[in-house]
Amino acid sequence: MDFKGRDVIAIHDFSTKEIMRILDVAREMVPAARGDETLLLLPGKVMASFFFETSTRTRLSFEAAMKRLDGKTVGFSDIQSTSAKKGETLADTVRMAEAYSDCMVIRHYNEGAARLAAKFSSKPVINAGDGAGQHPTQTLLDLFTIREEMGDIKGNRVVLAGDLKYGRTVHSLAYALSMFGVPMCFVSPPTLEMPSEFVASVKDRGVDVVESHNLAEAVEDADVLYMTRIQKERFPDSSEYEKIAGSHRVNMELLSGAKKGMIIMHPLPRVDEIDPEVDERQNAVYFKQAFNGVPVRMALLSLVLGAKG
Ligand code: NCD
């Protein structure tokens, strides 16, 4: 396994063996991610953090990950403050990242932007979300969370629910779970179903997949419920959003029909799709999941920058 210098654009850039290695390294990183230990793995290294689209968790956890390893960060979180605003091409912006840093983390509103960025950089490029495309590092922390909470990735039945059309986290996660042979149920409001190319690629792997519009029925035999928000900003017509908003909601009543051990995940931010009273439940793990972004991104940065093998 050789991670040094690699780009991370889509989850299937990795094999299942490589994914497990990243999750193992992430587990070693937990004490340092909490600040209970010091790990000086990336002294003098600089990560460029280029966020053309809003972010809270992904950006902050990447920056925290780099700093916990004694590295540094440069970058922007607001396109208004950059030359992209003056009409600079992505290719030229990427060339600057290459000149000023050792790796680049990019979030962009266009699908395919990270893949394009990687073409113009000889240094590792990590996709932190490209439009409605993929979000591979979120998937790594989702898999880490499932493994830590359930003991294994395999052997679970996973419900992916919410906006499966525009939600990039569920695109990458469905793909990854299919690599591990995990049976899934895709639950969405009508019109926001999982795009057919993702359904086809998951089914091609021989994985048992059910598509549904009924969340209450789907949670009955689930071990993991992965809820997502409706991606309002990606709707071409906002009246279409208004029709669907609030149609799927996780509350105590819905959970009364679920298995006791079922964990509830969410990449966050949530809007109204999980009732705050659910937060008190022991197996509502979405805030732990958000923390897991730090050790998982520490693992990834140390591997692609060659501080770990
Ligand atoms: C997600 C994203 O940006 O795709 N957030 C995240 O990175 N944790 C999910 C979302 O915005 O709904």
Q: Which domains does the chain have, with CATH numbers?
A: 11-134+293-304 (3.40.50.1370), 136-289 (3.40.50.1370)
Would you state the pLDDT for residue 41?
98
Long-range contacts (CB closer than 8 Å, 24 or more residues apart) made by 232-241:
232/271, 234/131, 234/132, 234/166, 235/166, 240/191
Would you state the pLDDT for residue 78?
85
Residue 287 main-chain phi, psi, to 5 deg? -80, -35
Residues in the chain: 309
pLDDT digits (tens, 9 = 90+) for 61-87: 999 999 999 999 999 998 887 888 888
Q: How far apart are CA 100 and CA 102, in angstroms?
A: 7
Q: What is the pTM of this model?
A: 0.97
Helix, coil or strand: residue 52: coil
C-beta atoms surrounding 28 within 10 Å = 16
pLDDT digits (tens, 9 = 90+) for 238-251: 888 888 888 889 99
Q: Could you say which of 21, 58, 93, 270 is catalytic?
A: 58
User: Do you find a cis peptide bond into 267, omega within 30 degrees of 0?
Assistant: no
Q: How far apart are CA 123 and CA 4, in angstroms?
A: 10
Average pLDDT, the chain: 96
Whose CA is closest to 267, among 296, 304, 236? 296
**Which residues line the pocket of ligand 1, CB cutoff 6 A?**
57-58, 129, 135, 138, 168-169, 228-229, 267-268
